[in-house]
């Protein structure tokens, strides 16, 4: 959206609205395939939702949050790349306190930036060995949805800045979400999902920094 010249005031609400569309589709498809785990979602969501609402009501200087976000994404991509080629680790449930703390932090970032939070939760779950890649994708999709909704509730007046073409964008995002969720939930192996996530993180991080 930045490359397309969209006004900064319209970027965050537009991203959150599109998150709602794609995350709903993705969560549904992964849940149908048997990858969703409520026990993994709720400890993060219970604190992320109020903090996403709070973050949505705050506006940081654009240059500051872009730099912070870009560095975080590049670090996460590096850590994911470093685990490529290793055997799959045995996963274990996250400690409740750690999940609550991380949920609050990610929720705040989600509300501030409009990213939905899944791009932070996914590498965290994988690197901490709290979930396998496909369960990570399923839980992250649901996490994105609840945080995007809370972020919009935190600043409902921002909906007035939505561009006139948002309905068309949402339709295009829905088509991509259906195709992507189908591939991710049933066809693509875990290693491919890790590599795709790392590439997405690098691209997003570089764009934010430059």
How far, in whole angstroms, is CA 195 from its chain's centroid? Answer: 16
Confidence (pTM): 0.77
87: pLDDT strictly greater than 50: no
Runs of H (alpha helix) within the chain: 8-32, 38-56, 62-82, 96-113, 118-127, 133-154, 166-182, 190-209
How far, in whole angstroms, is CA 59 from its chain's centroid? Answer: 19
Residues in contact with 98: Cβ distance below 8 Å, sequence separation at least 6, in sequence order: none
Residues in contact with 188: Cβ distance below 8 Å, sequence separation at least 6, in sequence order: 196
Taking the C-alpha atoms of residue 170 and residue 154, their distance in angstroms, rounded to an integer, is 21
Mean pLDDT of the chain: 83
Q: What is the pLDDT of residue 98?
A: 95
Taking the C-alpha atoms of residue 93 and residue 125, their distance in angstroms, rounded to an integer, is 10
Percent of the chain residues past pLDDT 70, beyond the cut: 90
The stretch 96-120 carries a mean pLDDT of: 86
**If pLDDT is split at 50, 70 and 90, which confidence band does 190 have?**
low
Taking the C-alpha atoms of residue 190 and residue 32, their distance in angstroms, rounded to an integer, is 18
Q: What is the pLDDT of residue 133?
A: 81
More confident residue, 6 or 82: 6
What are the tens digits of pLDDT across the range 61-83? 777 867 877 887 787 788 777 65
Taking the C-alpha atoms of residue 151 and residue 16, their distance in angstroms, rounded to an integer, is 7
125: pLDDT strictly greater than 80: yes
172: pLDDT strictly greater than 80: yes
Where along the chain do its domains lie?
A: 10-156+166-209
More confident residue, 128 or 3: 128
More confident residue, 55 or 6: 55
Taking the C-alpha atoms of residue 152 and residue 131, their distance in angstroms, rounded to an integer, is 28
Taking the C-alpha atoms of residue 30 and residue 24, their distance in angstroms, rounded to an integer, is 10
109: pLDDT strictly greater than 90: no
């Amino acid at each position: 959206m930045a490359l397309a010249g969209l006004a900064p005031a319209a970027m965050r609400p537009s991203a959150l609205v599109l998150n709602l569309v794609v995350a709903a589709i993705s969560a549904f498809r992964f849940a149908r395939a048997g990858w969703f785990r409520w026990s993994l979602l709720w400890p993060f969501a219970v604190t992320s939702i109020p903090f996403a609402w709070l973050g949505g009501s705050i506006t940081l200087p654009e240059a500051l949050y872009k730099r912070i976000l870009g560095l975080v994404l590049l670090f996460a991509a590096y850590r994911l790349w470093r685990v490529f080629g290793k055997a799959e680790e045995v996963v274990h449930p996250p400690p409740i306190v750690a999940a609550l703390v991380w949920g609050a932090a990610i929720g705040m970032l989600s509300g501030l930036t409009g990213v939905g939070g899944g791009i932070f939760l996914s590498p965290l779950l994988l690197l901490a060995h709290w979930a396998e890649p496909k369960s990570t994708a399923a839980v992250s999709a649901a996490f994105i949805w609840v945080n995007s909704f809370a972020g919009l509730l935190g600043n409902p007046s921002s909906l007035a800045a939505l561009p006139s073409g948002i309905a068309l964008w949402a339709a295009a995002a829905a088509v991509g979400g259906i195709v992507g969720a189908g591939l991710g939930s049933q066809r693509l192996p875990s290693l491919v999902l890790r590599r795709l996530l790392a590439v997405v993180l690098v691209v997003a991080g570089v764009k934010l920094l430059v």
